[in-house]
Amino acid sequence: YIDFISFNLWVTPIIIATRKGYNVIVAELIRAGADPKKKDLIGQTAFEYANAKTLAVLNYEMSASEEHKEPIEEEEEDKDEDA
Protein backbone atom coordinates (compact mmCIF):
# COMPACT_ATOMS: atom_id res chain seq x y z
CA TYR A 1 0.00 0.00 0.00
CA ILE A 2 1.40 3.35 -1.00
CA ASP A 3 -0.28 5.16 1.92
CA PHE A 4 0.73 2.55 4.50
CA ILE A 5 1.30 4.09 7.92
CA SER A 6 4.40 2.66 9.55
CA PHE A 7 3.60 1.36 13.01
CA ASN A 8 7.12 2.18 14.18
CA LEU A 9 7.16 5.76 12.90
CA TRP A 10 3.41 6.43 12.44
CA VAL A 11 4.02 8.20 9.13
CA THR A 12 3.44 7.48 5.45
CA PRO A 13 6.20 7.16 2.84
CA ILE A 14 5.31 10.56 1.37
CA ILE A 15 5.69 12.20 4.78
CA ILE A 16 9.12 10.61 5.19
CA ALA A 17 10.20 11.78 1.73
CA THR A 18 8.80 15.26 2.39
CA ARG A 19 10.56 15.61 5.73
CA LYS A 20 13.86 14.56 4.13
CA GLY A 21 13.37 16.91 1.16
CA TYR A 22 13.50 14.08 -1.39
CA ASN A 23 11.55 15.98 -4.02
CA VAL A 24 11.91 13.44 -6.83
CA ILE A 25 10.57 10.70 -4.57
CA VAL A 26 7.71 12.96 -3.43
CA ALA A 27 6.76 13.55 -7.07
CA GLU A 28 6.95 9.84 -7.92
CA LEU A 29 4.85 8.87 -4.91
CA ILE A 30 2.11 11.32 -5.90
CA ARG A 31 2.19 10.05 -9.49
CA ALA A 32 1.85 6.52 -8.10
CA GLY A 33 -1.24 7.55 -6.14
CA ALA A 34 0.06 8.52 -2.69
CA ASP A 35 -2.14 10.91 -0.76
CA PRO A 36 -0.15 13.82 0.72
CA LYS A 37 -3.24 14.84 2.70
CA LYS A 38 -3.14 11.66 4.77
CA LYS A 39 -2.37 12.51 8.40
CA ASP A 40 0.25 11.07 10.70
CA LEU A 41 -0.25 10.21 14.38
CA ILE A 42 -0.23 13.87 15.46
CA GLY A 43 -2.52 15.04 12.66
CA GLN A 44 0.11 16.49 10.33
CA THR A 45 0.16 15.99 6.57
CA ALA A 46 3.07 16.15 4.14
CA PHE A 47 2.15 19.78 3.51
CA GLU A 48 2.95 20.72 7.11
CA TYR A 49 6.39 19.08 6.93
CA ALA A 50 7.38 20.48 3.53
CA ASN A 51 10.09 23.06 3.01
CA ALA A 52 9.55 25.68 0.28
CA LYS A 53 10.89 23.55 -2.58
CA THR A 54 9.05 20.42 -1.50
CA LEU A 55 5.85 22.39 -1.04
CA ALA A 56 6.19 23.61 -4.62
CA VAL A 57 6.62 19.99 -5.78
CA LEU A 58 3.59 18.88 -3.76
CA ASN A 59 1.41 21.65 -5.17
CA TYR A 60 2.60 21.11 -8.75
CA GLU A 61 2.13 17.34 -8.68
CA MET A 62 -1.27 17.61 -7.01
CA SER A 63 -2.50 20.07 -9.64
CA ALA A 64 -1.04 17.93 -12.43
CA SER A 65 -2.71 14.80 -11.07
CA GLU A 66 -6.06 16.62 -10.87
CA GLU A 67 -5.76 17.71 -14.51
CA HIS A 68 -5.13 14.14 -15.69
CA LYS A 69 -8.00 12.49 -13.87
CA GLU A 70 -10.66 11.17 -16.19
CA PRO A 71 -14.27 12.15 -15.49
CA ILE A 72 -15.38 8.73 -14.25
CA GLU A 73 -18.74 9.98 -12.98
CA GLU A 74 -19.67 11.43 -16.36
CA GLU A 75 -18.84 8.16 -18.12
CA GLU A 76 -21.01 6.20 -15.68
CA GLU A 77 -23.89 8.65 -16.17
CA ASP A 78 -23.60 8.30 -19.96
CA LYS A 79 -23.84 4.51 -19.65
CA ASP A 80 -26.97 4.82 -17.51
CA GLU A 81 -28.63 7.15 -20.03
CA ASP A 82 -27.91 4.75 -22.93
CA ALA A 83 -29.58 1.81 -21.16
Question: What's the pLDDT tens digit per position in 36-53?
Answer: 999 998 999 999 999 999
24-37 in b/e form (b: 16+ CB < 10 A) is ebbbebbeeebebe
pLDDT 10s digits, 50-70: 999 999 999 999 999 877 655
pTM of the predicted model as reported, rounded to 2 decimal places: 0.72
